[in-house]
Amino acid sequence: MKKNVQKTIAVLGAAVLATGMVGCGSSNTNTSAADTSADSSAAESNAAADTTENSADAKDLSGSITLAGSTSMEKFANALAETFMEKYPNVTVQAEFTGSSAGIESVLAGQCDVGDSSRALKDDEKAKGAVENIVAIDGIAVVVDPSNAVDGLSKDELTGIYDGSITNWKDVGGSDMPIVVVGREAGSGTRGAFEELLGLEDACKYANELDSTGAVMAKVASTPGSIGYVSLDVVDDTVKAVKLDDVEPTEENIKAGSYFLSRPFVMATKGEISEQNELVQALFDYVYSAEGDDLIKSVGLITTK
């Protein structure tokens, strides 16, 4: 009888011990799960808070911004407007392309918030209160029709072609063919920068003066013997970009300073950026951010950094 009682006590003891062990294991598991759940909830709450804060910031910014000016900056300005409005859904950005000089006149007259200029500002424009905010660098490519045998020109040869002293391609190593000189209209930032860089202000002899970058591209592409100048970022296989002083028009060469036809892209304001309304300040904050750098590169321009 005593042995049976001892056996029973031993069995009960083992059962109690086993139960205690299971209980301990269960308690640890539940605690771990609770900790994990708490950590997860905290992370989700923080993420939700960040999202809410960002959304609130986006919703707080509302209104409209107007840009006017350079047709050479059309691709950049349209991309900027699109991406900025995606970031701030309650903001509208409108861009008009009236030429650099007209854009600067508009911002000075208070008719737009930003004047886009594909050239540096003139002293008289600055004297009137226009502030030069350089946002990107653009190379000016000299283009000919694809069938032209000439691959490069010296600065003197290019100057001679545009001042009218060189009129046939045979004089610069090409075929016996008249040179058709194509350029932009008066007031164009591209024309202003091109003529200034060559020292030919108001001295060029044009066969055609066209009112947009696209028109110059189309004219040169379809006219044998023609030559024109356009923003580097719009060059495609419908035309041929020539070397200048044996240097190709590339971003690397422009940054290195070895390609002489380059100019700034300017978003001019009347007064300093800090004096503008919060919408315009936010637009410049975006342009000068890492996102803005990516945008500038995506449209074929060169960042200022």
pLDDT (0 to 100) of residue 240: 97
Q: And the tokens for 118? A: 């594909």
Name the pLDDT band for 251 (thresholds 50, 70, 90): confident
CB atoms within 10 A of CB 29: 10
- pLDDT score of 73 more than 90: yes
Whether 185 and 191 have beta carbons less than 8 Å apart is answered as yes
pLDDT tens digits for range 100-156: 999 999 999 999 999 999 999 999 999 999 999 999 998 999 999 999 999 999 999
CA distances from 189 to 22, 186, 212, 273, 298 (A): 82, 9, 11, 22, 22
Whether 92 and 85 have beta carbons less than 8 Å apart is answered as yes
pLDDT tens digits for range 197-244: 999 998 999 999 999 999 999 999 999 999 999 988 889 999 999 999
Percent of the chain residues past pLDDT 90, beyond the cut: 70
**Is pLDDT larger for residue 53 or for residue 213?**
213
pLDDT tens digits for range 15-47: 333 333 333 333 344 444 444 444 544 444 444
Name the pLDDT band for 60 (thresholds 50, 70, 90): confident
pLDDT (0 to 100) of residue 56: 40
Name the pLDDT band for 304 (thresholds 50, 70, 90): confident
Q: Is 78 exposed, middle or buried (CB count within 10 Å of its CB: 0-12, 13-18, 19+)?
A: middle
Q: And the tokens for 19? A: 């139960």
Q: Give the mean pLDDT of 280-299.
A: 96
Q: How many residues does the chain have?
A: 305
pLDDT (0 to 100) of residue 54: 46
